[in-house]
Structure 1
Amino acid sequence: MGMGSLTMFTLCAVMILDTLTASAAIGPSAFSWWVIMLAGFVLPYTLVVTELGSTWPAEGGIYDWVKRAFGTRMAARTSYLYWINVGLWMPSVYILFAGTFSSLYWPKMALHWQILLCLVLTWLTVWFCNISTSVCLKIARWGAFAKIIVIAVLGFAGIRYFLQHGLANNFEWHNLIPHLNESSRFLPAIIYSLLGLELVASMGKMIKSPEKTMRIAMFLAAILISALYLFGTFGILAALPVSQISLVSGIIDAMKIIFGQSEGARVILNILCVLTLFSFISNMVTWTSGSSRTAAEAAKSGELPACLGILSRRFHTPVGANVATGVVSTLVILCYSQLASDKSDLFWIIFSFSSCIFLLPYLLLFSAWFRLRDKETETPRPYRVPGGIFGQWLVAGVCLLFVIQGIILFVFPDLFDGKIEMSHSLPIVIGIIVTLLAGELCLLQYNRKMQSASSKL
Structure 2
Amino acid sequence: MSTTTPGRSVSTSSNSAANTAGASTKTRGGGGAGLSTLALAMMNVTIIAGLANDVQQSFYGLSSVTFFLLGGLLFFLPTGLVAAELASGWSQRGGIFRWVGEGIGVFPALSCLLILWFQTTFTFGSGIPSMSATIGFFTTNYDWAVDFAKNSHSWKVTLPIMIGWLAYYWFCCFLATQGVKTFSKIAQYGVILGTFLPLGVMTILAVVWLCQGHTPAIALTPSGLVPKWEGMSTLALAAGVFFSFSGIDMNAAHIKDLKKPNRQFPLAIFISMILVLLIFIVGTLIIAIVIPNNQINLLYTLFATYRALGATIGFPDLYLVFCWLGMLNSFAALITNLAGPSYMLGQAGRSGFLPKFLQNNNKHGMPSRLMYTQMALMTLIAFIVFLLPNVEGFVALITQAITILYLTYYVMMFVAFLRLRYQQPNRPRGFKVPGGMFGAWLVAGIGIIASVFGIVLAFYPPAQLEKEVGSGITYDLIIIGLLAFVFIACIVIYRASRKHNWADPTNQFAPFTWQIEGMAKPGKALSNIPTAMLSEDQNPMGLPIKRHYDPNGMLRDLPTGKDPFQGTAAAELLKKHGITEPSEPSKVALVGDPTVGVKTLAYQPRPVHTNAEGNMLPMPSAASIDASPVPQSEQQALADAKNARHDARAYHDMAQALNQQAKDDIALAEAIHRVQVDEAQAKEASDGAAESKAEGSNKQSK
Structure 2 length normalisation: TM-score? 0.58
Return the index of the structure with the highest Cα Rg. 2
Q: 2:79 maps to what in 1?
A: 45
CA apart distance, 1:322: 2.0
Whether 1:252 aligns to 2:294 is no
The answer on whether the counterparts of 1:52 and 1:65 sit within 8 Å (CA) in structure 2 is yes
Contact 1:157 1:258 in 2 (8 A): yes
Aligned to 1:292: 342
* Greater RCO (CA < 8 Å, at least 6 residues apart): 1
Question: In the alignment, which of 108, 126, 138 is matched to residue 170 of structure 2?
Answer: 126
Does structure 1 conserve the Cα–Cα contact (< 8 Å) formed by 2:121 and 2:374?
yes
Residue 196 of structure 1 and its aligned partner are, at CA, apart by: 1.8
Q: SS at 1:171's partner residue? A: coil
- Aligned runs of 1:46-195 on 2, under 5 Å? 46-103=80-137, 105=139, 106-109=145-148, 110=152, 112=155, 113-114=157-158, 117-130=161-174, 132-133=178-179, 136-145=183-192, 146-164=194-212, 165-181=214-230, 183-195=234-246
Give the secondary structure class of the aligned counterpart of 2:61.
Answer: coil
- The Cα of 1:116 is off from its aligned counterpart by 5.8
Please state which structure has a larger fraction of its residues in helix.
Answer: 1
Indicate how the Cα distance of structure 1 residues 321 and 414 shifts in structure 2: closer, same or farther if over 3 A, else same.
same
User: Contact 1:46/1:197 (CA < 8 Å) preserved in 2?
Assistant: yes
Which of residues 275, 279, 292 in structure 2 aligns to 1:241? 292
Shift of 1:370: 1.1
Between the two proteins, what is the percent identity of the paired residues? 21
1:436 aligns with 2:493: no
Instruction: Tell me: CA distance 1:369–1:121, structure 2 relative to 1, closer, same or farther (3 Å).
Output: same
CA deviation profile, 1:361-407 (whole Å, cap 9, x unmatched):
21221111011112112323343334444433332221012122223
C-alpha distance 372-11 of structure 1, shift in aligned 2 (>3 A): same
Are positions 1:324 and 2:368 aligned together? no
Matched-pair contact (CA < 8 Å) for 1:86–1:291: yes
Aligned partner of 1:408 in structure 2 is 456
Matches of 1:428 and 1:18 in 2, distance apart?
A: 23
Unaligned runs of at least 5 residues, structure 1: none
Unaligned runs of 5+ in 2: 1-34, 140-144, 504-541, 545-702
> How far apart are residue 434 of structure 1 and its match?
1.0
Indicate conservation of the 8 Å contact 1:305/1:442, yes or no: no
Which residue number in structure 1 is paired with residue 405 of structure 2?
357
Structure 2 CA distance for aligned equivalents of residues 2 and 126 of structure 1 = 28
What TM-score comes out, normalization by structure 1 length?
0.86
Counterpart amino acid of residue 113 in structure 2: S
Name the stretch that deviates more: 134-143 or 367-376. Answer: 134-143
Q: What corresponds to 2:26 in structure 1?
A: none
User: d(CA) in 2 for partners of 1:276 and 1:85?
Assistant: 23
Q: How many Å separate the matches in 2 of 1:30 and 1:3?
A: 30
Correspondences of 1:296-445 after superposition (within 5 Å) = 296-311=346-361, 317-337=366-386, 341=390, 343-414=391-462, 421-445=472-496
- For 2:101, the aligned partner's letter is K
Report the counterpart of residue 31 of structure 1 in structure 2: 65
CA distance, structure 1, for counterparts of residue 234 and residue 274 of structure 2: 23
| 1:7-48 Cα distance to aligned partner (Å, 9 max, x none) | 444334432344221121222100111111222222322222
Mean Cα displacement is larger for which, 298-307 or 321-330? 298-307
Aligned residue identity for 2:172: F
1:194 alignment partner AA: F
More moved, 109-118 vs 43-52: 109-118
Greater Cα offset, 96-105 or 438-447: 96-105
The answer to whether the 8 Å contact 1:184/1:413 transfers is no
The letter of the residue matching 2:191 is: A
Alpha-carbon distance between aligned partners in 2 of 1:162 and 1:261, rounded to the nearest angstrom: 10
Give the deviation of 1:59 after TM superposition.
3.8
> Matched residues in 2 for 1:180 and 1:102: separation?
37
Residues in 1 aligned to 2:441 and 2:307: alpha-carbon distance in whole angstroms? 49
**Structure 2 residue identity aligned to 1:400:** I
State how far apart, in whole Å, the 2-side matches of 1:23 and 1:6 are.
26
Tell me the amino acid that sits aligned with residue 49 of structure 2: M
Is the CA contact 2:137–2:323 (under 8 Å) kept in the aligned structure 1?
Answer: no
Shift of 1:221: 1.9
RMSD: 3.3
Q: Distance in 2 between matches of 1:308 and 1:430?
A: 27
CA offsets, 1:319-375, max 9 Å, x none? 32222212322333333455553x432321233333333333212211110111121
